[in-house]
Every structure is written in structure tokens, then in C-alpha cells.
Structure 1
Amino acid sequence: MSRIGKLPIKVPSNVQVEVKKQTIHVSGPHGKTFRKISDLISVEFSDNKILVTKVDNTRIANQLYGLTRTLINNMVIGVSEKFENILQLQGVGYRAQVKDGNLILNLGYSHPVLISIPQGIEIKVEKNVVLIITGFDKELVGQLAATIRHKRPPEPYKGKGILYKGEIIKRKVGKSGK
């Protein structure tokens, strides 16, 4: 039995939750979102708490139990506080800027890399090399950060590339010059 699934989800006073059959709608000051829930899981909302329970005691229901609770918890946290991911550009001439709903990255290629910013996501650029990605959907924020990082992953010899904040790149020794 899932230890995570048993825990009730506390809902802040500024967040509204509505459960309709197998769909849960969550809205708050930063946005609104919804998610369909499997028939093997039931969700109840009362007294500013959300309880997730299993309908069956099958293997698939056990797998979905903790997952569903975590996804709903991420929805509640996202619409009340927002999620944040910070990326750093490291390398000579690496720059970023936001223009007309697009992120423009200069990463040492012969052309600038253009990434369109999805709706519900905000990107701030500080000092031309620090990207702050915020949004209410944790999955979308993480996926956009991974997509940006994929354009120039950090390399182990000089440490150049796009890194997550606080990430340490294990450096390799280059060729020995004789």
C-alpha cells in the first residue's frame, strides 16, 4: 500500500477544487487546470482536504494510487504558488533574450536558436545568461527546461553549455601535450 497515497492533500483558502465524476478541476490565483482520473481511483473533496482512495485492490490500482495523489498535489501547489526552474548559460558568447513570445538563444552555433514559449509559462532572463522559467504546470515547466538544455548540454572538457542551477559538471582531463 502506498504511503504517499494515504496522505490527505491540504488545500489553501485561495484555491477552489471541484470534482466531477472522474475529472478534477483546480483553480487559483495563478491559473486553472484539470485532470482526468482513472476509474480505479476515487477522489473526495471536503473540509479543505482532498482524499484519494482506491476502488479496487489490483496491481494497476496500487500503481495509480500514489501517482494520482502526487499529480493532484502538484496541481494545487502550482495554482497557488507556481513552480520555478533556473538554467544558467556557461560559455563565451552564450546569451539569451525573450522577444515576441520567443526565446532566442545564442549558443555558439552559426545561427540563433529560437524556442517558442508555451502559454502559461513565463521566462525571465537575468544578466543575459540566467533563465528563470516559471509556471503553474510542473510537467510543462520541467519539459521546457529540458528542451532548452537539450540545445547545448554541458560538456565535460571545458564545462560549456546549459546547466541547471547548482549542477556540477564532472570535468575530464584533456589530451596531454608533449
Structure 2
Amino acid sequence: MSRIGKHPIKVPAGVEVTIDGLSVSAKGKLGMLSVDLTDDVSIKREDDLIVVEPRESSKKAKTMWATSRSRIANIVTGVDTGFTKTLEITGVGYRAAVQGKDLVLNLGYSHEVRYPIPEGIKIACEKPTSVAISGADKQVVGQVASEIRAKRPPEPFKGKGVRYGNERILRKEGKKK
């Protein structure tokens, strides 16, 4: 039995959820998101709860049960409160700033790196070494954070580079004489 799939999803006040066959859409203060699911699961609405159940007891149906429940929970949370990822920039002279619709990164290269900010994503730089990425779609927020981190991943000797806010870098010892 799925430990994740058996929990119903509570719909917060101010969020409208519509179930149309295998498509679920949610509309809230941060926008509208929808997700298409497989026919291995059934979705029911009971008052302010959404219940996801497998249609049969096959292995695929059980795995899609938890996946479908998580995807529905992510769109409901996304349109209500949104998701945020934080990136930390470490290194002498490494910094970030938002200029118009671009994120400008100075990462030790001979040129500055410009990253165009996608639609539906907000990027804020409270400090020059901290980047906060927020938006309604959890997948897009994670993808943008991953693409920015890939511009200069952290290296293990000095720890310089772009890392996630909660990421720990395993440090290596340098050469010995």
C-alpha cells in the first residue's frame, strides 16, 4: 500500500480545483496550473479533499497512485503559496544581479553570464551572493535553479561556485609537498 497515495489532498480556501476526467486543474492567487494523469488512477472530490485511488492492483497502478497524488498536491500548493529555491554563490568576485528580464552572473569567467528569466518565474537577489527563485510550478522552479547552478557548479577544493542553499559540498584536501 502506498504511504503517500493514501493521504487525501486538502484544498485550501481560495483555490478552485476542477476535475475533468484524467485532467486536474487548479486556479489560485498565483495563477492556474493543470496536470494530465494516466488512466491507472481514479480521482474523486469530497468536500475540500481530493482522493486519489488506483483502479486495479497492478504494480504500475500502485506506482502511479503516489505519483499522481504528489503531482496534484504540487499544483494545489503551487497556486496557493508557490515554491522557492535559494542558490548561494561562493567565490571572490562572484556575484549576481537582476537587470531587466535577465539574471546577470559574474562567475569568474572573462565575460558575464546572462540567463533570461522564464515566464512565471521571479528571481530576486537580496544580496549579491544569494539568488532566490520562486514560482507556482515546482518543476520549472527546480529546472531554472538547476540551469543556473550548471553555469558554475561548486568545486570540491575551495568550494567556489553556485550551490543550492541547503547543499553541503564535500571538501577535498589539496596537494601536499
TM range (shorter): over 0.9
SS at match of 1:172: coil
Q: Distance in 2 between matches of 1:155 and 1:13?
A: 45
Partner of 2:105: 105
Pairs aligned (count): 177
Q: Provide TM-score, normalisation by structure 2.
A: 0.96
Cα offset, 1:102, TM superposition: 1.3
Please list, as runs of the form range in 1=range in 2, the aligned pairs for 1:96-175 lying within 5 A after superposition: 96-175=96-175
Q: Distance in 1 between matches of 2:46 and 2:16?
A: 11
AA of the residue aligned to 1:85: K
Partner of 1:84: 84
SS at match of 2:51: strand
Q: Distance in 2 between matches of 1:68 and 1:168?
A: 31
Are positions 1:43 and 2:46 aligned together?
no
Unaligned runs of 5+ in 2: none
AA of the residue aligned to 2:139: E
Q: Distance in 2 between matches of 1:139 and 1:80?
A: 16
Which of structure 1's runs of 4+ aligned residues deviate more than 4 A?
A: none
Tell me: CA distance 1:46–1:115, structure 2 relative to 1, closer, same or farther (3 Å). same
AA of the residue aligned to 1:46: E
C-alpha deviations, 1:72-91, integer Å up to 9, x for none? 01111111111110001100
AA of the residue aligned to 2:85: N
Q: Distance in 1 between matches of 2:127 and 2:111?
A: 21
Partner of 2:4: 4
Q: Provide TM-score, normalisation by structure 1.
A: 0.95
Are positions 1:67 and 2:81 aligned together?
no
Tell me: CA distance 1:166–1:22, structure 2 relative to 1, closer, same or farther (3 Å). closer
C-alpha deviations, 1:120-167, integer Å up to 9, x for none? 110001221100001111111111111111111111111100111132
Unaligned runs of 5+ in 1: none
SS at match of 2:4: helix
Cα offset, 1:96, TM superposition: 0.9
How much is the aligned-residue C-alpha RMSD, in angstroms? 1.0
Partner of 1:20: 20
Tell me: CA distance 1:98–1:60, structure 2 relative to 1, closer, same or farther (3 Å). same
Cα offset, 1:16, TM superposition: 0.4
Partner of 1:56: 56
